[in-house]
Structure 1
Amino acid sequence: MNRSIIKTLALAFIATMFAGSLIAFPQQAFDASIRGLTMWWEIVFPSLLPFFIISEMLIGFGVVTFIGVLLEPFMRPLFRVPGVGGFVWAMGMASGYPSGAKLTARLRIEGQLSKIEAERLVSFTNSSNPLFIFGAVSVGFFHNPKLGVILALSHYAGNLCVGLLMRWHGSTSGDNSISKRSSMSIKEALRALHRTRLKEKRPFGKLLGDAVISSIQTLLMIGGFIILFSVLNKLLYHMNITGFLADGLKSLLLILGLPEKLSIPFISGLFEITLGSQMTSQVAEASLMQQAIITSFILAFSGFSVQAQVASILAETDIRFLPFFTARLVHGCLAGIFTMLIWKPIYEGEKFNDYPANTLPVMNLGQSSWLNEIYEMMTTIGPLITIFGISIYVLLYWKRHFIK
């Protein structure tokens, strides 16, 4: 029996088991599906849609090329990627998963990145956004805005280190870099912007329509993965598979000095970061620092749900998924280590503890976090934005395919 037949049988078995578990646990599957849909409906779609549309427009008008020329002297020596990587990095941090993958894939298709450069770039431009770290995790789950500072510092510092490490990726296989400018030039940047705009033959209306359609199609795909993995995570728990995997993890946690009760939240977080972070915050046997270490790893690893989204986006190009997956493992370990190292000097520091628990002194946010207020606002108006966005998508799709 060759490898291809074994793979076919394995995939068929997994699909059959999944279908059977849906029949065996219909209520649990339904509840998990509603939970995933709610998260996509209220938060993911309305928060990512503007970033996706604006990014498409900026690429089309040549602004990204302009930024790329200016950032070339910074991005090339540090990360061995073109200057346009700076735009992808910034957008990835601001909007969250999987914006970095979508923009990297788009720039690879545009020919602004080589294959190796794209694999380096995608490895450190996918991160959790501040809204989720401060609003959902630190305030929503832990009810402690100060914890968000620790999680954010560890997360983004780990991501920076991943970028620096991944600069060596592909060193022996040939770089094939698209561009290697060594100095910043405003004049050259303006020329590049103008050349890119002239190459774009689509009128503004067509460009905007394409940006909306492409963005919403990507978000629909993301929503499907969120719901799928939310259901899968719940079914694995009720089939005792999560508990079985957690039993094998307990020894490692004890070696690391972490309570074994964190094993099930950790396994759940490997599949879906929101549920894993929430379950970690509910483990009373663990100290806050221990909970923060596990949460940092979960946020950095990003979960198989996000990784499946990235894999689907990268499948449209020749960018390999394995370097991205390896980077997530490294990022998770680094984020956990950074959380442990900075805990005492920052979270338990005298100046930090001079502030009440419901403030964010490092960011000077007053008595309540504006990020938390935005998060709460999104849960209220998010569904309206989602309905409006999908309605626009349906109208544009109908006009292009059925009206001649």
Structure 2
Amino acid sequence: MTGNPKASGRRRTTALLGLFAAILVVSIIAYPDQAFSASLQGLTVWWKYVFPALLPFLILSELLLGYGVVHALGTLLDPLMRNLLRIPGSGGWALALGATIGHPAGARAAAALRKQGLLTRTEAERLLAVSHLSSPVFIVTIVGVGFLHSARLGALLAAVHTVAALAVGLTIRLLSVRSQERETYVPGHPGQPPSGTLPAEPLTKRIITAMQDAHTKDGRAFGKLLGDAVSSSVQTLMMVGGYMIIFSVLVQIIEISRLTSIIQHAALLVTGSTSYGEAVRSAVTGLLEIHLGTYAFGAKSGLSGAFAAAAVAAVLGWGGISSHLQVRSITNDTDLGYMPFVAARLLHAAYSFVLTLAVWEPVSGWLGSAPSFAAGQPPSGTAAAYPQPVIALALLTAVILLMLLLSLGFHRNGAHRSRVKS
């Protein structure tokens, strides 16, 4: 009698994770000094850069959710989702969450839409690939100003991150254009693809209605909402800090195991240069955790200029195994595959790396003085002239306006087609 393959796979995963946890505990006990030093480094980066920069934004994000602003943005993105990415308009909410709050909010929304039968498996996996984003505020304030000491470079990385995500969505759409999963919709469910007719209500009215409905459903007064926002934001940041500390320790254990030395020797054989040691360490760190990885490439990798910025962009596109674990836990009770998500992250990293190299020369004059890629140096004049919250808000507004123009264009084209048919 053949066993359940899915259950067998879960048992193997449990055994491997248990073995990994045991090895981690033994390593910490065997090397307490190195483990403490690594924990302190992760805690320092979290407390010095991540916590003060993200706390106000996370609180405001919770307020935007409570008052329905994110839901309104999701409605705004409906035509864009249907016409550009071939995803039902309900997916606009997940994309809005990913573009404003960042991961894993987009993954949580995509999984919820799949559970409700609003999306097919192919559409949900495509939406998950597009909505798994780092927020512009994180990229500009923490990565740009905090790690790279240039708000303009942070804005450039955020723009590249968004464009690369849309390119990933278009690539997956083209690869799955002949997918036959449409029958997996629940018959008669409102999530089914539109039949070609657009809603009778104008787009503006639907946006306002979505915002009002979301706020009414939430039902919390401002004081209660603000208190819950502070509590939830601090809890989220504590979780991020925990991830950073444990993965910082993991990176140190990898160093002790000499794995990075093996990779460095391999790089020496291929390139004939010994100048890539720190870059290899930074790459291993970025593979595991996004905050530590971007910090390492910005401050300690030994790279500079276009290649350092491209490496940071690639880490942002990959997202780190720490964020992958969060997505895996969120989608574990759905039929969404993990390997398509990994492929999308690799594609996002590749697109981000190539796009950054491609635009570096044209925008180098706008960046001004060369951004600093060394830790401990004061912010450049670029960051001082344009405070990071202003840059982040301006970038987020520009992205929303661009999506608005695209959505309105698709909306008018659809209305024109409907009038021609009638």
Task: Tell whether the structures are fold-level matches, with TM greater than 0.5.
Answer: yes
Say which is worse superposed, 236-245 or 122-131, in terms of deviation. 236-245
Aligned partner of residue 186 in structure 1, secondary structure? coil
Q: Tell me how far 1:319 sits from its aligned partner.
A: 2.5
Pair 9,307 (structure 1): closer, same or farther in 2 beyond 3 Å: closer
Give the total of aligned pairs.
360
Matches within 5 A, 1:220-259: 222-248=240-266, 254=271
Q: Tell me how far 1:136 sits from its aligned partner.
A: 2.1
Which residue is 2:388 aligned to? 371
The whole-number CA distance in structure 1 between the counterparts of 2:274 and 2:127 is 33
Deviations 1:285-341 (A, max 9, x none): 533112112111111111111111221222243332222211110010111111111
Deviations 1:214-240 (A, max 9, x none): 888766655543433233223222332
Which residue is 1:121 aligned to? 127
Q: Tell me how far 1:122 sits from its aligned partner.
A: 1.2
Q: Tell me how far 1:246 sits from its aligned partner.
A: 4.5
Which residue is 1:260 aligned to? 276
Pair 44,308 (structure 1): closer, same or farther in 2 beyond 3 Å: farther
Which residue is 1:324 aligned to? 341
The whole-number CA distance in structure 2 between the counterparts of 1:53 and 1:316 is 29
1:19 to 25, 43, 54: 25
Which residue is 1:58 aligned to? 68
Matched, 1:72 2:78: yes
Aligned partner of residue 163 in structure 2, secondary structure? helix
Say which is worse superposed, 231-240 or 28-37, in terms of deviation. 28-37
Q: Tell me how far 1:95 sits from its aligned partner.
A: 2.1
Deviations 1:144-198 (A, max 9, x none): 334324322322221110111122465424134623234364358868958x959
Matched, 1:340 2:357: yes
What is the identity, as a one-letter code, of the residue corresponding to 2:201?
A: I
What is the identity, as a one-letter code, of the residue corresponding to 2:254?
A: L
The whole-number CA distance in structure 2 between the counterparts of 1:70 and 1:90 is 9
The whole-number CA distance in structure 1 between the counterparts of 2:254 and 2:334 is 32
Matched, 1:309 2:322: no
Q: Tell me how far 1:94 sits from its aligned partner.
A: 2.2
Q: Tell me how far 1:277 sits from its aligned partner.
A: 2.1
Pair 319,46 (structure 1): closer, same or farther in 2 beyond 3 Å: farther
Deviations 1:246-290 (A, max 9, x none): 4445667x49x9962322211111111222222223457533112
Contiguous gaps of at least 5 residues in structure 2? 186-190, 372-379, 393-422
The whole-number CA distance in structure 2 between the counterparts of 1:330 and 1:130 is 20
The whole-number CA distance in structure 2 between the counterparts of 1:138 and 1:283 is 15
Say which is worse superposed, 33-42 or 237-246, in terms of deviation. 33-42
The whole-number CA distance in structure 2 between the counterparts of 1:334 and 1:258 is 28
Pair 98,248 (structure 1): closer, same or farther in 2 beyond 3 Å: farther
What is the identity, as a one-letter code, of the residue corresponding to 2:251?
A: N
Deviations 1:71-92 (A, max 9, x none): 4332112111122333332331
1:186 to 201, 207, 227: 201
Say which is worse superposed, 234-243 or 221-230, in terms of deviation. 221-230
Pair 28,297 (structure 1): closer, same or farther in 2 beyond 3 Å: same
**1:71/1:184 contact within 8 Å kept:** no
Matches within 5 A, 1:354-365: 358=380
What is the identity, as a one-letter code, of the residue corresponding to 2:340?
A: P
Matched, 1:174 2:174: no
Say which is worse superposed, 306-315 or 243-252, in terms of deviation. 243-252
Q: Tell me how far 1:37 sits from its aligned partner.
A: 5.1
Matched, 1:288 2:301: no
Question: Among the aligned pairs, what percent are the same residue?
Answer: 31
Pair 163,148 (structure 1): closer, same or farther in 2 beyond 3 Å: same
**2:260/2:280 contact within 8 Å kept:** no
What is the identity, as a one-letter code, of the residue corresponding to 1:48?
A: L
The whole-number CA distance in structure 1 between the counterparts of 2:217 and 2:319 is 38
1:141 to 130, 144, 147: 147
Q: TM-score, normalised by structure 2?
A: 0.69
**2:43/2:245 contact within 8 Å kept:** yes
